[in-house]
Amino acid sequence: MSFEIRSKDLLGRIGRLRTKRGTIETPFLLPVINPISQLIKAREIRDTFRFEAVITNAYLVWRRFRNNPPKIHELLDFDGIIATDSGAYQILQYGDVEVNPNDIIRFQEQLDSDIAVILDIPTDQTATEQRAKWTVDETLRRAKEAEHTITRRDVLWVGPVQGGVYPELVSYSAREMAKLNFQIHALGSPTTVMQQYHYDKMVDMIMAAKLNLPPDRPLHLFGAGHPMMFALAVALGCDIFDSASYALFARNDRYLTPEGTAKLEDLEYFPCHCGSCYKRNPVEVRKMLKFERERFLVEHNLHTCYSELQTIKQAISVGRLWELVEARAGNHPALSRGFDTFLKYAQYMESETPLRKKRGPFLLSEKSLSRPEIIRHCKKLIENYTSPMTTTKRVILLPDKYLEPFRQNFDNDTSLQKLLRNPQLHLCSYNLPYGIIPNELVDVYPLSQTEDSVKPTAPVLRNTTKRIVKWLRRSHYKSRIIVVEDAWQHKMAESIRKQLKGSKIQILEIEPGEDATSKLLALINRKKS
């Protein structure tokens, strides 16, 4: 096996996972195929909907063919990549299965699976902490035993992580599972959490696993099949999904979209232009026979899942995954709560996010201020930055609206040249997202490439003020001039002066239409005289 990471953004990555039967690009969804009865054939899922891999249940195959194991690719009539699950979902649903953990490993080897899962014990969402600890310990015991049972190393084996809604147990399970020789890891038991839209709990579960697993092994999120949460899960570092949701929702006349689930009876128009929706309208589909209607919805739901993953990959490739996650979070209150929990882990996103991207960030709301680019700038400004000249005695802080005109008019503005070339002056700008931006760093990504619509709310002002005060406290300037024009800037400047009591801070107010450069020079000349 090899897992090659081609592109990253946040904890999301585009990768290439090589198996003995071919390579798939992650993030990827494995549509669940019933090995006995198929509404839509596995071959059609590949040929029509471009899914190069599927997953089926080895336990269900074992129940029917235990004495004469077939080759799984022949059984499904599918020459792509096939992953097989071991029956853990049935344990979650019914409490137990009659197959031995080692027997199902050997059976999957006989099936000639490309990817296979050991028989773990899933942690139910309602389990007590004591019960959850047992599922973790028993899964680890089976995983260690599996290492001695597995004989085929051309199969990619999945080591599941358990612990349910107890993050400490998930972290422990992940650390111990990481010590074993599995090529892929999976977070088990999130299905019921996702079915109840507890995306805030899901975020904690995923991060507890992700932060304790090797980064060179893909992470599979079991049972994640709704496109509305793909972007959030990918941003948290999930590489592979599997689900039968595309078919289960269709069975109940449910129409999947990246924004949520719609009932067919409530639709007047199809908000999709896939091959199925383009040819029909909701009235026509509602009049279809049950089988035809279900088939129509299966095709649409598969298309929506595939399309959303392509959208996510494009967002990763251009560095816009945050924007996509934030936009999707606005579509549902449960996703919004999940995104709020996601923000707690912003520090971990920073180390994995590229230093430069093809496009500058869009800051869409107050929540955007937790972006890795902003965290990185503020961190490096405190830890690594020193002013360019040791003779600098005074710093001038200008609103960033003056920044671009200053850069454009530098050659023709003699008063500006006097400011910028005065060795005793250091010119900086400030704004809500980044706080301080030294003039010599203006063109460093992503400072001048950022577009924002952040409002000066009380929490934002407190955060920006805190960043500026922290930077000024460690600087060596003998005096500071803060240029203000708007009411929020004046309020912030007064707060800075109050917190830096005893420091020489002067607030220079600029009226609309006034020349800030000339007024600054006049002030500086008065101070000299």
Specify the pairing of strand 2-9 against strand 12-19.
antiparallel
Instruction: Specify the amino acid at residue 195.
Output: Q
Instruction: Specify the amino acid at residue 369.
Output: L
- C-alpha 1/C-alpha 154 separation (Å) is 8
- C-alpha 97/C-alpha 93 separation (Å) is 10
For 270-388, strand residue ranges (E) read 362-363
* Contact assessment for residue 163 and residue 136, using Cβ atoms and an 8 Å cutoff: yes
| Spacing of C-alpha 177 from chain mean position | 23
In eight-state DSSP terms, residue 108 is H
As given in the structure block, the two tokens for residue 112 are 């000639």
Distances (CA, A) of 68 to 71, 98, 111, 150, 504: 10, 18, 10, 20, 86
- C-alpha 341/C-alpha 343 separation (Å) is 5
DSSP sequence for 186-252: EE-S-HHHHHTT-HHHHHHHHHHHHTTS-TTS-EEETT---GGGHHHHHHTT--EEEESHHHHHHHT
- C-alpha 28/C-alpha 44 separation (Å) is 17
3-class DSSP state of 58: helix
- C-alpha 227/C-alpha 256 separation (Å) is 7
- C-alpha 136/C-alpha 134 separation (Å) is 5
- C-alpha 217/C-alpha 202 separation (Å) is 20
Catalytic entry in 9, 85, 124, 242: 85
85 classed as catalytic: yes
* Contact assessment for residue 115 and residue 83, using Cβ atoms and an 8 Å cutoff: yes
Number of H helices, E strands in the chain: 23, 20
Distances (CA, A) of 361 to 113, 201, 215, 373: 42, 28, 25, 8
Q: For residue 514, list its beta bridge partners.
A: none
* Contact assessment for residue 116 and residue 81, using Cβ atoms and an 8 Å cutoff: no
How far the first Cα of the chain sits from its last, in Å, is 74
Q: Which residue reads 């230093």 in tokens?
A: 355
* Contact assessment for residue 517 and residue 415, using Cβ atoms and an 8 Å cutoff: yes
Specify the pairing of strand 240-243 against strand 254-257.
unpaired
* Contact assessment for residue 240 and residue 184, using Cβ atoms and an 8 Å cutoff: yes
Output the CA angle 208-104-237, nearest 5 degrees. 25
How many residues are recorded in the chain?
529
Residues recognised as catalytic:
85
